[in-house]
Amino acid sequence: MYLNSLKTDYFHTAIPELPMGKYAHIVVVRETNSFPLFQTDGELNTAYVKAGLLPAHQAPRARITMFKRKQTSAERLHGRELLRRYGIISATPKDEKSNTTSPYFCEYNSAAFCKRCPDCIYYGFAIGSAGSERAKVLVDSAFSLTPFDVSHQSLTFNAPWENGTMSRGGETRSSIGEQDHVLPQVFFPSVITIKDPTEAEFIYVLNNVLRTRRYGAQTTRTGTVENHLVAAVFANGEIFSNLKFSQKLYDLTGYEDEGGQERAQIGTPLEAGKVLDAASEAVRSLLQEDGLVYTVVDGAILRDEMNGLTRDEEQFRSILGQAGEEANLYATTFGAFRPKTAKAK
């Protein structure tokens, strides 16, 4: 075992072919640290949902939505960087005959998925008639804790000439406009679920979450987000949804209406420490309603242990190597490269 705070029976020794009822949930609260853009067609993604779970919080509120792919795409790409750095996959195409040994050439979101690396096996792929693999990492859209009206701001953007002004030779440049941005210190409670993980798989996915710092559009200029690890939950089924998590946390952070004015007793912007304390309380309260057999591992303890692993390069390289071997074994036993006789069955 690499993680001493966890038990061996939380994990499989190899990736199973069929679902076996072991679920590992990574519970995080994503906090914006700049002005990210979670948008489609030029507008921030929003949804009208009930404010909270309490009877006093049943009125609908508009919330900013962080769609699932805006989470997983960023995290997958950071994981793939590491796989290339440590020789699990290659950035250089090979001919079909020479691509039978590691590192395998693998290109994201194309027909050149290698179909056998940790990214392909854990997060899944679909290449039309060339094959597909169902994701073992389950992610859903996340909803802002605070309502839309206190979570965004319209900012003006421009594209000046090289002299730093918008005019040259008596002409004013027309490249100026406005764009809604998510404000800093807006929180998106989120649950990432891994079905039937091995320990190396769990570490790989958790590390991707913890090391990813930018989400949404225009990430070369903005989009900084900090992922606070609240807890890891090991259970025999799926736990509560992101929306329910946000609504429960809304109830616990002191929101109330006064004379038609919505306000937070702990202040806006919300104080991160108080939000995280409330998130831990929300997790334990919601789990009691789920009717599952579960174990909760404190996020602070797990993060400290993860930091120790990832700072030791040789040990981290070993974990990634083990993840690569497990993924390849699954691909050649049950996946795209299983024996043809097995396919006929």
pLDDT tens per residue across span 23-81: 999 999 999 999 988 887 778 899 999 999 999 889 899 999 999 988 999 999 999 99
CA nearest to 302, candidates 249, 235, 240, 233 = 233
Q: Categorize the per-residue pLDDT at 168 as very low, low, confident or very high, splitting at 50, 70 and 90.
A: low
Q: What mean pLDDT comes out for the span 199-223?
A: 92
User: C-alpha 211: how far from its chain's center?
Assistant: 11
**194 pLDDT above the threshold of 90:** yes
**pTM summary value:** 0.89
Q: Rounded to the nearest 5°, which phi and psi values hold at 16?
A: -80, 155
Cα distances from 309 to residues 5, 27, 230, 304, 312, in angstroms, run: 13, 20, 19, 9, 5
Tokens of 247: 């609504």
Residue pair 157/179 in contact (Cβ under 8 Å)? The answer is yes
225/163: higher pLDDT: 225
**158 pLDDT above the threshold of 60:** no
- Rounded CA-CA distance 52/114 in Å is 44
CA nearest to 191, candidates 26, 69, 21 = 26
pLDDT of residue 340: 77
Tokens of 219: 């990430």
Min mean pLDDT across 25-34, 64-73, 87-96, 106-115 is at 87-96
**157 pLDDT above the threshold of 60:** no
Q: What is the crossing angle of helices 199-211 and 313-333, to 10°?
A: 120
* Contacts with 4 (C-beta within 8 Å, 6 or more apart), sequence order: 305
- Rounded CA-CA distance 280/340 in Å is 49
**173 pLDDT above the threshold of 80:** no
- Rounded CA-CA distance 186/225 in Å is 10
CA nearest to 115, candidates 336, 340, 330, 320 = 336
Peptide bond into 55 cis (omega under 30): no
306/339: higher pLDDT: 306
Return the exposure string of 306-319: e unless at least 16 CB atoms fall within 10 Å of the residue's CB, then b. Answer: beebbeeeeebeeb
pLDDT of residue 344: 45
Q: Categorize the per-residue pLDDT at 345 as very low, low, confident or very high, splitting at 50, 70 and 90.
A: very low
Q: What mean pLDDT comes out for the span 138-155?
A: 87
Q: Categorize the per-residue pLDDT at 227 as very low, low, confident or very high, splitting at 50, 70 and 90.
A: very high
Q: Categorize the per-residue pLDDT at 95 as very low, low, confident or very high, splitting at 50, 70 and 90.
A: low
Q: What mean pLDDT comes out for the span 105-122?
A: 92
Length of the chain measured in residues: 345
**162 pLDDT above the threshold of 70:** no
SS3 of residue 240 by DSSP: coil
Give CA angle at 120 (117, 122), nearest 5°: 100
Share of the chain above pLDDT 90, in %: 66
